[in-house]
Structure 1
């Protein structure tokens, strides 16, 4: 490398001053998927003698730009209620969890065998657990799946019902699809209110929301 070609390392992002129990940073990102790109990704080689199945249900939203929110929750906070409060405060209309790391001392999960008619398949956890994964949508009612590892590394997961008490920390990145609107409608095939994705109307035209209901598995 010739003298003068060396570039100094990029400075680390400084933290933003918020109360210790809730540190957050949010801002827009220019991340979008052009319609042509989306079409090319979903175009796959298929057997000409077979009719391909639909690629998605209720996917009328199309591409959207992305806004990212970062927050940290502290010991003793309940994660699910804190996320609900954050979504309401920021008036997010198409939010979802990008990633989460942290630890908890309790959790209540609904397991895979549960149905709308039989919701008794519930697991209540108590102890110290690492958050291995947390994914899902947050509006109008959170539909989140979580994986938790105990002190021996054994992992359990399911649909998050609540009681997710934070042990040391929970560091989250949340996304907001700025041109989309998430709502829920009853799906007779599953018995649960399932996700519906729509385009937001232009300012002044109003937009369709959704009722807060328990979501599917």
Structure 2
């Protein structure tokens, strides 16, 4: 006759309970932290962030153009902070499209791109919004000297592989892109290198000018 649960021997019940507990994770154990993945190899496609200080009395446009030429890289201006004097801007409000501002103006924003030679003139441009002492806000494209009155801080990103593409694509250009992507294993987004224009490589700062 089988023994009931109340009549079972204590040692037998204890052994069964110990075996059941042994199936789980040991007390105090936990998942080990995985080591973080660190990428140390530089890539030409990466943007370099820089904080530039333009000295008082210097022309901001000329300073950026010289910096881009010395570094051999394009400059994307993200923001600017400071005071400027004697700005010449192009906008659609004035009758002749160009307005010359004299006096001190606080810089509200500055954005745009500066490209080193052999990029053609007009490929890069800066747009600025200024606030005068009377509270008037004026903006436009910078087409003349933009002199810093006191230190001017610019947040910029440097790049060296801008790709020139002419839109819309024609059928011959699309076929050239497909062949280029198959040869080099690249995805979408390939096109004419700026400023080379042959569609087979990226701009390294020494390519010929594009056929504008």
Name the TM-score, length of structure 2 as normaliser.
Answer: 0.54
Query: What residue is the counterpart of 2:110 in the other structure?
Result: 134
Matched, 1:80 2:79: no
Query: How many angstroms apart in 1 are the aligned matches of 2:56 and 2:165?
Result: 32
For the Cα contact (< 8 Å) 1:100–1:133, is it kept in 2? Answer: yes
Shift of 1:79: 0.7
Query: What residue is the counterpart of 1:149 in the other structure?
Result: 131
Query: What residue is the counterpart of 1:208 in the other structure?
Result: 207
Shift of 1:197: 7.4
The 3 A distance-change label for structure 1 pair 206 and 87 is closer
Gaps of 5+ in 1: 1-28, 33-63, 186-195
Query: What residue is the counterpart of 2:153 in the other structure?
Result: 171
Query: How many angstroms apart in 2 are the aligned matches of 1:97 and 1:106?
Result: 20
Q: Give the number of equivalent residue pairs.
A: 138
Query: How many angstroms apart in 1 are the aligned matches of 2:209 and 2:165?
Result: 6
Q: 1:162 aligns with which of 128, 144, 148?
A: 144
Query: How many angstroms apart in 2 are the aligned matches of 1:145 and 1:202?
Result: 27
What's the secondary structure of 1:65's corresponding residue? Answer: coil
The 3 A distance-change label for structure 1 pair 169 and 81 is same
Gaps of 5+ in 2: 1-39, 167-190, 195-199
**Structure holding more strand per residue:** 1
Matches within 5 A, 1:38-187: 64-92=45-73, 94-112=74-92, 120-139=96-115, 140=119, 141=121, 142-178=124-160, 180-181=161-162
Larger Rg: 2
For the Cα contact (< 8 Å) 2:84–2:105, is it kept in 1? Answer: yes
**Structure holding more helix per residue:** 2
Which stretches of structure 1, 4 residues or more, deviate above 4 A after TM superposition? 182-185
Name the TM-score, length of structure 1 as normaliser.
Answer: 0.52
Query: How many angstroms apart in 1 are the aligned matches of 2:140 and 2:192?
Result: 23
